[in-house]
Structure 1
Amino acid sequence: MKLGVHIRKEETQFVVHSRANRLWLLLFDSADAETPTREIEMTGGPLWHTTVSGVHSGTLYLYRTDAVPEQWLLDPYARAVHFSRSWGESAGIEPGQHIRTGRHFPKGIITDDHFDWRGEKRPETPLEKTIIYEAHLRGLTGGGTYLDFIEKIPHLQSLGITAVEFMPVMEFNELEFLLEGAARKHLLNFWGYSTLAFFAPMSRYAASREPGAAITEFKTLVKALHNAGIEVILDIVFNHTAEGPFNGPVYSFRGLDEPAYYMIKPDGTYPDWSGCGNTFNCNHPIAKQLIVDCLKYWAQEMHVDGFRFDLATVLCRDPDGELLEHPPVIKAIEAEPALKKIKLIAEAWDALGGYQVGSFPGKRFSDWNGRFRDDVRRFWNEGETIGLLATRLAGSADLYQHNGGSPLKSINFVTSHDGFTLADLVSYAIRHNEANGEENRDGEKQNNSVNFGFEGPTDEETICARRLKQQKNLLATLFLSRGVPMLTAGDEFGRTQSGNNNAYCQDNGISRVDWSFLEKNRELFEFTRQLIALRKKHPALCSGKFYTGEGDVEWIGEEGLSVDWQHDRALGMHIKGKDELLILINNEAVDLSFELPEGNWNLILSTDPLAGSSASSNSVFLVPAHSVCVLGE
């Protein structure tokens, strides 16, 4: 029997896993019902099941067990969830009181899979041609919905994006801080890294309040993106759930089979390897099956093209916290035929200190290259020397070349949702997270950022010009490097979070993209478009192979000298072959000249408006201070 709810002609089958001694199905006749209209005791165990006649799509349901009869439980396999309120609405909810039953407890919804996919064209973009755009659905749309996001597709097309990586869109409770009743009770969980139901799209991202509407609206968005040539990647959070620490709220997993779903210490408490109160027992057979079934559902039924696994190192641990060489859940994901063409991306670290960038055990997984982010920032913002930057430009062979890896294992990024925006990275020397209610203790302390002499916004022209050029330098490095580039939404036009580098709880102007910046910072947007177009035009920049140094690349020092890898802050990278390019980087405080290889070179792109336009064979090209120039024949 398959877990979940399955409509079969005139009957509907319910199947759920639980170690309880007795278990009941609860059916409700309305979304706001305080009590069920029917209770049906199920048979079996631990695979409990029952078949009910006259139950149709749209019916709401829950479970309860004999262990805690007064606690309602969501089906872990529920494909849709309904809350009897809109986003952020808290009327009738008591701060500090976790909800166990009643109209405010989330209910599962019986669904059918009907959707008109006719006319859809799945892009199936090769990884080497992928340009990822990380976005928060509500943030990008200014508090909007799945359908509102469709209005932003022309912007993504004009930019050259090939894949949107959505921050969590699986059902979560944005009021969880209110239910905790602590200092953050006035704030919302905006990001959504606190999953209630892994199979269900976030219901309050739907325009319609109708139970189950989120499924149709999400599919509509996916179809629209696909027909625009843009893939959909979901940020999925299997490392923990919304049920918090061992004494936290109960919604589903803890009430059904706590040891199957959570890591548990001998004293009954939870190890917190996620940093969020609990750790999902990903390699237990039951939890492993749920993870694989969930991925299959989103790939097959919802037409999702890829997944980014939050704190993926948690998926590699055994109950003692030791890292497994061959984690069963990773093997199962990679072996699943339904996921054969799906893009798999790991955030290859966790809160226990595991760091697997370049060594994540999955053969098919790429991973967020945190080393790329840090080394690029240190070079441009802190004056580090050229050696590590060259390694990142060339695809991070030091991390990925072993065991037959390729640059495509590396998801390159300079910023992400987690940290400063690009504009803030060059405007703030320290974080400013006071609005989060944690006395500015939260968020990354070491950001490798710079403010160019003034903290925060300023009208001083020299500082503004320097900040603009620095944003261009960072973007140029991102898109000129081998690997798969990821751009954070709004960075293409200088979006700011006013120095907040951990805006997980800010459902306001801090997190919402201000689209007026698109016109205000049109120059930066056009530069980003130009960069992406340049990358797409030159296959050498996105090759899935590492440079060998044997006729494919030559490193050039300033003024005809050899590169001093330990001291130089300037470098020429001559990409040879049919697709020749010359990338000149200067992070010194003075202009520097480079002797050009033989050929007729023309300036294609520069981060400095004062750079020259062309240079003849064997001549010298002057690269302005703190800038990048790209030349082609």
Structure 2
Amino acid sequence: MTQLGATVTPEGIRFAAWSSSARRLWVSIFDDSGAREVDRLELKPAGEGVYALLVPGLAEGTRYGLRADGDYAPERGQWFDPNKLLTDPYAVEIDRPYQYHWRLAAKRNEGADTAPLMPKAIVVALPKAVAPRPPLFQPGGLIYELNVRSFTRLHPDVPEAQRGTIAALAHPAIIDHLQRLGVSAVELMPVTASIDERHLPPLGLSNAWGYNPVTFMALDPRLAPGGLKDLRDTVAALRKAGIGTILDLVFNHTGESDRLGPTLSLRGLDAQAYYRHQPDGRLVNDTGTGNTIACDHPVVREMVLDTLRHFVRLAGVDGFRFDLAPVLGRIDGAFDPDAALLRAIADDSVLADRVLIAEPWDVGPNGYQLGNFRPPYLEWNDRCRDDVRRFWRGDAGVIGSIATRLAGSSDVFGRDGRPTSRTVNFIAAHDGMTLADIVAYERKHNEANGEQNRDGHNDNLSWNNGAEGDTDDAAIANARFDDQCALLATLFASRGTIMLTAGDEFGRTQKGNNNAYAQDNAITWLDWAGRDLALEQYASSLASLRHAFPVLADPNFLTGEPVDGSEIPDVAWLTETGTPLGESDWNDPGRHRLVMLLGDSGGGRLAVMINGDRRQSVFSLPARDGFEWRPAIETQPVDVARPLPGRSVSFMIERQAAKPHARKGS
């Protein structure tokens, strides 16, 4: 297919768009302010559904939009209306953010021209491609999920004009924080242009997360006022610091929503092709947002691939996380791990070496697909999240589950006989309670969202540590601190890739809100001035430990057999007395203590001692002649002769014992 979008040529600007069912397409040219339409030119059929036109005399910086005409029959999936100005699906820059207005959803012949309400696409002469380099991130690393706006909105060291933008991530204070945490790659929640859901403006709320895109390449001007250059420069600065960049992209739906939603781009160009429909013409809603992108359509598939190549070639990103990824693999509505789009991404010459991460569920039929994606896709592992929370909440009968999660979830990712886990372990993410709120709120508190606390998950596997009549604020704070430390330690001790959400390392809270997508305010803005420095230091120590002992991060599944070149098995599971866990121990519903004893090819051993009981306990580790056990983290002065506090995790390393000094004169 011919190149789509607006292309700068020596002769002028060539505009090209695709539609299989439009009868006519136009490009509207606007003045430099974007306020006045100065020309409307009809695109000409160029074959294969493409309409194109070369307009002499135009140059980079031209503002434009598209219009299309054809049948208007929403019940058949047709929304053609020339009065609706449409954003080019291949636009790479827009002049202002999207703002919802009811006129954007008006029926044909019932609404005025929407041009005054719409951003205008800006023609950009794309820069030279970034020199191709392998991703910095490798499986087993630490992904740091962050919301660009909320992450630096209140950071005192970032210049005020830069706060809340992509460029702020390149500030030395931010990079220093990321390096102290041992971050392998930042995962940026959506940075492409999005629109508020229609119910939010009347509530005085706005979408803070960005998971409601309109088009896929144009960055949100609020996050990237300098356009693509802002992302490109920030990716380069992070890479120089040894940190990769992963973009969280949404290819499962758009902000055009359901039948009552606005017509902004794809809907007005060819809704039948771009979206999936029921046989009776109704929009399929496998996303819970009102519409579902038809990722099995060849034109949609190519648009997704072009978007990914765009960010790799021109910004140098390490990879992508795909929101509600089963949608990308649905063929005629059913998920297929070998779907053409999933295969094309993994096999593409530009994308093949990139980091690919699937959120392996959507809300459609058979939408839960954890473990069913093919390599090289990594997958968010909610089984890890839930089992770790259950363990530290004190649920019975989860000792086997916690061991399986620590070991990389072979029950999920080893089903095909592969020796390596594709897990992305996490305890908390943007969607749900923060780490601090998990241990402080037994139930969600989403009242600020304006939906009478009906939105968001009800089963959070959280607890209120200190609810049992304890009025000692200091004691409650200490108990919650210990629980956060235990959760962080379990995450950092789990094999495979791990993910930490920004601010969880220093106790960020959303006051129990587990669905804060509509809170672009202090609920989601990170409180850098009030952060818990002791918790942050502990998280940094865990990161140093994980870096010093790669056996913790290794994504290969454990076997219990000796490591190559050593007599030490790669893992032994022990009780607190140092004896192997037997069948009765694994089946003991009251057991909340265990030791994961890891061995490496160098003959060393690392013990992860977990006491999930509220009572302290003495842990004994097996001894070897000539070796001794020492604390692995200096902030944990624990040895095998002292009790391990309740609800805690400790790390011990086995070192060769120091030889006694010979006495003088002997």
The TM-score, its normalising length taken from structure 2, stands at 0.87
Could you tell me whether the CA contact under 8 Å between 1:28 and 1:38 is conserved in 2?
no
Could you tell me whether the CA contact under 8 Å between 2:34 and 2:120 is conserved in 1?
no
How far the C-alpha of 1:187 sits from its partner, in A, is 0.8
1:450 paired with 2:472, answer: no
Could you tell me whether the CA contact under 8 Å between 1:443 and 1:501 is conserved in 2?
yes
What does residue 124 of structure 2 align with? 111
How far the C-alpha of 1:182 sits from its partner, in A, is 6.8
For residue 407 of structure 2, the aligned residue among 394, 408, 433 is: 394
Give the aligned length: 607
SS in 1 for 2:186: strand
Question: What is the RMSD of the two structures over their aligned residues, measured on CA atoms?
Answer: 2.4
The letter of the residue matching 1:529 is: S
What does residue 80 of structure 1 align with? 93
What does residue 160 of structure 2 align with? none
Could you tell me whether the CA contact under 8 Å between 2:84 and 2:115 is conserved in 1?
no
How far the C-alpha of 1:125 sits from its partner, in A, is 2.5
1:425 paired with 2:438, answer: yes
For residue 538 of structure 1, the aligned residue among 546, 549, 570 is: 549
How far the C-alpha of 1:286 sits from its partner, in A, is 1.1
Evaluate the alpha carbon distance shift between residue 548 and residue 416 of structure 1 in structure 2; reply closer, same or farther with a 3 A threshold.
same
What does residue 605 of structure 2 align with? 580
Could you tell me whether the CA contact under 8 Å between 1:427 and 1:457 is conserved in 2?
no
Stretch of structure 1 that moved more, 4-13 or 393-402: 4-13
Evaluate the alpha carbon distance shift between residue 97 and residue 336 of structure 1 in structure 2; reply closer, same or farther with a 3 A threshold.
closer
C-alpha separation in 2, matches of 1:572 and 1:252: 56
For residue 114 of structure 2, the aligned residue among 95, 101, 104 is: 101
How far the C-alpha of 1:95 sits from its partner, in A, is 8.6
Deviation by residue 1:272-329 (Cα, 9 ceiling, x = unmatched): 110000011011111111111111111111211111100111122233x322252111
How far the C-alpha of 1:613 sits from its partner, in A, is 3.8
Evaluate the alpha carbon distance shift between residue 289 and residue 259 of structure 1 in structure 2; reply closer, same or farther with a 3 A threshold.
same
The letter of the residue matching 1:148 is: A
For residue 59 of structure 1, the aligned residue among 45, 57, 62 is: 62
Q: Write the mapping of 1:339-354 to structure 2, written as runs, cut at 5 A.
A: 339-352=351-364, 354=366
Deviation by residue 1:529-555 (Cα, 9 ceiling, x = unmatched): 000110011111111311101121111
For residue 594 of structure 1, the aligned residue among 619, 624, 634 is: 619
How far the C-alpha of 1:456 sits from its partner, in A, is 14
Could you tell me whether the CA contact under 8 Å between 2:571 and 2:597 is conserved in 1?
yes
1:168 paired with 2:190, answer: yes
Could you tell me whether the CA contact under 8 Å between 2:371 and 2:379 is conserved in 1?
no
The letter of the residue matching 1:250 is: T
C-alpha separation in 1, matches of 2:352 and 2:500: 26
For residue 630 of structure 1, the aligned residue among 651, 656, 659 is: 651
Stretch of structure 1 that moved more, 430-439 or 383-392: 383-392
Evaluate the alpha carbon distance shift between residue 406 and residue 276 of structure 1 in structure 2; reply closer, same or farther with a 3 A threshold.
farther
The letter of the residue matching 1:192 is: G
How far the C-alpha of 1:406 sits from its partner, in A, is 4.7
Q: Write the mapping of 1:6-21 to structure 2, written as runs, cut at 5 A.
A: 6-18=7-19, 19-21=21-23
SS in 2 for 1:199: coil
Q: Write the mapping of 1:304-323 to structure 2, written as runs, cut at 5 A.
A: 304-319=317-332, 321-323=333-335
Could you tell me whether the CA contact under 8 Å between 2:129 and 2:314 is conserved in 1?
no
Could you tell me whether the CA contact under 8 Å between 2:43 and 2:51 is conserved in 1?
no
For residue 470 of structure 1, the aligned residue among 474, 477, 483 is: 483
Could you tell me whether the CA contact under 8 Å between 1:553 and 1:575 is conserved in 2?
yes
How far the C-alpha of 1:574 sits from its partner, in A, is 1.1
Stretch of structure 1 that moved more, 302-311 or 452-461: 452-461
SS in 1 for 2:139: helix
Q: Write the mapping of 1:164-563 to structure 2, written as runs, cut at 5 A.
A: 164-173=186-195, 176-177=196-197, 180=198, 184-206=202-224, 208=225, 213-319=226-332, 321-352=333-364, 354-384=366-396, 385-454=398-467, 460-518=473-531, 521-550=532-561, 551-563=569-581
The letter of the residue matching 2:539 is: T
Evaluate the alpha carbon distance shift between residue 317 and residue 38 of structure 1 in structure 2; reply closer, same or farther with a 3 A threshold.
closer
Deviation by residue 1:408-464 (Cα, 9 ceiling, x = unmatched): 400000000000111111110000000101110001110110111349998711111
C-alpha separation in 2, matches of 1:508 and 1:405: 45
C-alpha separation in 2, matches of 1:126 and 1:194: 27
C-alpha separation in 2, matches of 1:406 and 1:72: 52
SS in 2 for 1:12: strand
Deviation by residue 1:304-358 (Cα, 9 ceiling, x = unmatched): 1111100111122233x32225211111111111002110000000012535454
SS in 2 for 1:197: coil
What does residue 631 of structure 2 align with? 603
Evaluate the alpha carbon distance shift between residue 264 and residue 481 of structure 1 in structure 2; reply closer, same or farther with a 3 A threshold.
same
What does residue 46 of structure 2 align with? 44
The TM-score, its normalising length taken from structure 1, stands at 0.91
Where structure 2 has 5 or more consecutive residues not aligned to the other structure, the ranges are: 71-80, 107-111, 154-162, 562-568, 655-666
C-alpha separation in 2, matches of 1:136 and 1:492: 15
The structure with more radius of gyration: 2
Could you tell me whether the CA contact under 8 Å between 2:505 and 2:539 is conserved in 1?
yes
C-alpha separation in 2, matches of 1:202 and 1:470: 38
SS in 1 for 2:608: strand
Could you tell me whether the CA contact under 8 Å between 1:583 and 1:628 is conserved in 2?
yes
Could you tell me whether the CA contact under 8 Å between 2:426 and 2:500 is conserved in 1?
yes
Stretch of structure 1 that moved more, 403-412 or 259-268: 403-412
Evaluate the alpha carbon distance shift between residue 570 and residue 73 of structure 1 in structure 2; reply closer, same or farther with a 3 A threshold.
same
The letter of the residue matching 1:583 is: V
Evaluate the alpha carbon distance shift between residue 455 and residue 298 of structure 1 in structure 2; reply closer, same or farther with a 3 A threshold.
farther
SS in 2 for 1:172: coil
What does residue 150 of structure 2 align with? 139
C-alpha separation in 1, matches of 2:244 and 2:229: 18
C-alpha separation in 1, matches of 2:16 and 2:34: 24
Stretch of structure 1 that moved more, 25-34 or 246-255: 25-34
C-alpha separation in 2, matches of 1:9 and 1:192: 36
C-alpha separation in 1, matches of 2:37 and 2:6: 21
The letter of the residue matching 1:558 is: E
C-alpha separation in 2, matches of 1:522 and 1:123: 35
How far the C-alpha of 1:407 sits from its partner, in A, is 4.6
Evaluate the alpha carbon distance shift between residue 522 and residue 192 of structure 1 in structure 2; reply closer, same or farther with a 3 A threshold.
same
Evaluate the alpha carbon distance shift between residue 182 and residue 308 of structure 1 in structure 2; reply closer, same or farther with a 3 A threshold.
closer
How far the C-alpha of 1:268 sits from its partner, in A, is 1.8
Evaluate the alpha carbon distance shift between residue 590 and residue 337 of structure 1 in structure 2; reply closer, same or farther with a 3 A threshold.
same
1:33 paired with 2:51, answer: no
What does residue 109 of structure 2 align with? none
How far the C-alpha of 1:131 sits from its partner, in A, is 1.0
Could you tell me whether the CA contact under 8 Å between 2:345 and 2:352 is conserved in 1?
no
C-alpha separation in 2, matches of 1:515 and 1:456: 31
Evaluate the alpha carbon distance shift between residue 127 and residue 406 of structure 1 in structure 2; reply closer, same or farther with a 3 A threshold.
farther
SS in 1 for 2:517: coil
Could you tell me whether the CA contact under 8 Å between 1:428 and 1:455 is conserved in 2?
no
Identical pairs, percent = 39
C-alpha separation in 2, matches of 1:204 and 1:457: 45
SS in 2 for 1:37: strand
How far the C-alpha of 1:604 sits from its partner, in A, is 1.7
